[in-house]
Amino acid sequence: MWLRVAAAGAGAGAGGSRAASGAAAAQLRRRLEGELEGIRGAGTWKSERVIASPQGPHLRLAGGGDAGILNFCANNYLGLSSHPQVIRAAVRALEEFGAGLSSVRFICGTQSIHKELEEKIARFHQREDAILYASCFDANAGIFEALLTPEDAVLSDELNHASIIDGIRLCKANKYRYKHMDMQDLEAKLQDAQKHRLRLVATDGAFSMDGDIAPLREICQLAQKYDALVFIDECHATGFLGPNGRGTDELLGVMDKVTIINSTLGKALGGAAGGYTTGPKPLIDLLRQRSRPYLFSNSLPPAVVGCASKALDLLMESNAIAQSMAAKTQRFRSKMTAAGFTISGKDHPICPVMLGDARLAAVMAEDMLSRGIYVIGFSYPVVPKGKARIRVQISAVHSDEDIDRCVEAFTEVGRKHGALP
Ligand code: PLP
């Protein structure tokens, strides 16, 4: 009844939308429009292309007819986002366990599949236990505040992901920011932090803008020397870095030295959604009691759990998919370098094609799309001024022909716009 009265009383605008009236609402609207204009004026407006097909190496864009677009900008590193077995597992979980839990975990939201997935994640990373979150953003938002007090210190790489930065902001520990992958600076900050009860070094395992890998061996050595713990965010590593895809710690031989891992189920591990923390059992137990994004947010939907669980099964059965992605990455990096481009990072499927100039990156990315290759240009403020690039991401499901087509298009477009001689 109330709903009907409210609906009848308020005036609907074009297309059925309703605008609140009153001076405060008008003032807010003016302020927001001004801010949006500022973003457009600064050239940092982010638009969203609409995809009309499943995620994969070949996409159909909405309104783009049937022409296939070759996709080189998803985090679908292993091609599992649309893997038939992953999809079937999601459908089975949906049918068996329903659409969702309508509850947080500790009230009425823990199903057997949540426990199984947590156990599987811990086994995959060879850790004691794991806890699921709705996203890795939530896992990062929820760990520092639960773990660290004003007596403790956290030392964070300056280029860590936004969710680590936000998570650290929420905690009351003493905060140190060290220069990107600069071990001298980290050591100086660790010396200063000796006065605190506990020290936690926090770093991305692989950095998503540059495709560079944290020097975990050196970080772990310093952590040992200064009695610190090491936390890594493995969103761009889990499933494919290291001989068995365990991540940066496996790649660099420090699995027994990294204490805490946060990662996502929304990239290589099926690409649906979700995140987790894995590490010592008492830490996981504490997070279940204290971590706010876990305590006060809905459980992961069964279909999403089904996807991730199957993705992990596939990875634990064989490392063939991860190996195939590594070979494709190598092919792209070496052919692009031979063509005269500079590719940042090393051995990582994030392959930033460094161009320097923001306009050049934007124009080249548009021209690549007109040739059927979907890549994205990044410029300031997402990356430092003068370091604009087009970020290419390789997937295990790209064929050699896909990669060669991408390199050929880059070469043509690079010549046309003066990025290559
Ligand atoms: N950490 C890093 C390094 C990321 O790149 C991302 C996603 O972009 C996240 C955390 C957040 O992951 P999720 O999408 O699961 O929230």
For position 66, what pLDDT does the model report?
A: 61
Ligand 1 mean position, distance from CA 264 (Å) = 6
User: Are 396 and 286 in the same domain?
Assistant: no
CATH of the domain at 198: 3.40.640.10
Q: pLDDT tens-digit profile of 255-275?
A: 999 999 999 999 999 999 999
Angular region, 380: left φ>0, alpha ψ -120 to 50, beta rest? beta
Q: Report percent pLDDT > 70 for the chain.
A: 96
Q: Which of 298, 317, 336 is the last residue before a domain boundary? A: 317
User: Are 160 and 301 in the same domain?
Assistant: yes
Residue range 237-253: average pLDDT?
97
Q: Does residue 183 lie within any of the structural domains?
A: yes
Q: pLDDT tens-digit profile of 48-88?
A: 999 999 999 999 988 876 668 999 999 999 999 999 999 99
Ligand 1 mean position, distance from CA 161 (Å) = 7
CATH of the domain at 398: 3.90.1150.10
User: Are 289 and 334 in the same domain?
Assistant: no
Q: pLDDT tens-digit profile of 289-315?
A: 999 999 999 999 999 999 999 999 999
User: Are 330 and 296 in the same domain?
Assistant: no
For position 19, what pLDDT does the model report?
A: 78
For position 386, what pLDDT does the model report?
A: 95
Q: Does residue 32 lie within any of the structural domains?
A: no
User: Are 305 and 396 in the same domain?
Assistant: no
Helix boundaries (H) for 201-243: 216-225
Give the domain extent around 374: 47-76+319-417
User: Are 254 and 135 in the same domain?
Assistant: yes
User: Are 109 and 248 in the same domain?
Assistant: yes
Instruction: Provide the residue type at 323 as one letter.
Output: Q
Tell me which residue of 297, 314, 366, 311 sits closest to 109, measured CA to CA.
297
Q: What is d(CA 51, CA 68) in angstroms, rounded to the nearest whole number?
A: 11
For position 9, what pLDDT does the model report?
A: 44
User: Are 294 and 397 in the same domain?
Assistant: no
DSSP letters, 272-330, are SS-EEEEE-HHHHHHHHHH-HHHHTSBPPPHHHHHHHHHHHHHHHH-SHHHHHHHHHHH
266 pocket-lining for ligand 1 (C-beta < 6 Å): yes
Domain count of the fold of the chain: 2
Tell me which residue of 337, 352, 360 sits closest to 419, measured CA to CA.
360
Of the residues 208, 299, 309, 379, which is catalytic?
208
Q: Are 104 and 91 in contact (CB under 8 A)?
A: no
User: Are 365 and 247 in the same domain?
Assistant: no
Q: Which of 317, 341, 370 is the last residue before a domain boundary? A: 317
Instruction: Provide the residue type at 296 as one letter.
Output: F
252 has a pLDDT exceeding 60:
yes
User: Are 227 and 374 in the same domain?
Assistant: no
Of the residues 125, 196, 236, 387, which is catalytic?
236
